[in-house]
Amino acid sequence: MTRTPDADAGAGAADEGREGPAGAGAASATGAAGAAGATDVADRSHGSDRSHGSHGSHGSHESHGSHGSHESHGSDGSGATGSSPLILTMLLLTLVLLQGPIRGLLSAPVMQSWMTVFVAVLVQALPFLVLGVLLSAAIAVFVPPSFFARALPARPALAVPVAGLAGAVLPGCECASVPVAGALVRRGVTPAAALAFLLSAPAINPIVLTATAVAFPREPGMVVARFVASLLVACAMGWLWQRLGRTDWLRTPRRSPHEGQGRGAAFWGSVRHDVVHAGGFLVVGAMAAATLKAVVPASWLRTAAGNPLVAILALAVLAVLLSICSEADAFVAASLTEFSLTAKLAFLVVGPMIDLKLFAMQAGTFGRGFALRFAPATFVVAIAGALLTGAVLL
């Protein structure tokens, strides 16, 4: 808070008045200088107390600079706010002017097929996505990380499968599993167990398995295969890290941005974050599935699907690129009818464990060096686990 020149002068006079009669005279001179400063800034600098007058002038300058800063900030904010309706208006006018060509484009058989697949994937996946985000945010906010630390066995070799199975009990999408795993490491949980939970929670929780059953109503074995393969890969990566991982590869995670907030604010903040990110990737995934179904020549898909190894690698890479939330990826996989069940299983196992957004989140939480080592190993182990499980169960 900026002090006025009069207040500064009065304060100086009071301080000097306590020093005796001589101080009283100086206080009178200072008070006069302060009064002069209230009427004329130039006269203040020539008052009897030169140092105090200088201080008052500096305070006045700070106040003026602060005021100017606030004015500038307000002007920028109003400009940004005013530009938004203009952009929206221009966009609406563009759509109105181009409604004829747009209507003709959408009436083409290819686009009608594209829109059918796109809308079908969105409508089927969206309820599971929203439910998964809500439960994931509730787990992240209302279940303290100390609960996991107390529940896990002390021996890392036993803690890994227990943490992996905990993913089946505590729903969590990819966006929430990484911060939860980071909190577990901060609380002293062995990194091998935290990483097993990170990989299993988005892949084998009840919402994901239910969505898989809905997406594959005539293939109940797909649900069992997804559960077994994902749990196997999560435990294998946990044990692999326990044996080969080094502490200097794993950076101690920082505090979550929601920590320190009230539970309600943290919950809704987590929900907004996950819905925006997961919803955006769902739209991209639905667009990609519709494009593969309606635009890409069927002969290309049959050629890729005809070779089992090429089909598995193709869908595994597609899962990494699309970065679809695990609550919705089963519906995208089910739409790829040209591919085998084992190739679709690879899509469902790889996607929740390693994709572009997960790589970025793991690098931000545990360090880039960790992500560069952990992500490729997870990709290879996930493909091997899907291939092995598919050969046995599908």
- For the stretch 337-390, pLDDT in tens is 889 999 999 999 999 999 888 888 788 888 889 999 999 999 999 999 999 999
| One-character DSSP codes across 184-222 | HHHTT--HHHHHHHHHHHHHHSHHHHHHHHHH-TT-THH
Nearest to 379 by CA among 260, 268, 233: 233
pLDDT(391) > 70? yes
Q: Report residue 257's pLDDT band, with 50, 70 and 90 as the boundaries.
A: low
Quote the CA–CA distance of 95 and 61 in Å, as a whole number.
52
Rounded to 5 degrees, what are φ and ψ at 3? -90, 145
Banded model confidence at residue 171, pLDDT cuts 50, 70, 90: low
This prediction has a pTM of: 0.65
More confident residue, 281 or 225: 225
41-75-66 Cα angle (round to 5):
35
Q: Give the pLDDT confidence score for residue 259 in this predicted structure.
A: 55
Amino acid residing at 3: R
Identify the H or E element spanning 318: helix 308-322
Q: Which two tokens stand for residue 5?
A: 């020149």
pLDDT (tens digit per residue) in 44-92:
444 444 444 344 344 344 334 444 434 444 444 444 445 667 887 888 7
**Residue 239 pLDDT level (bands cut at 50, 70, 90):** very high
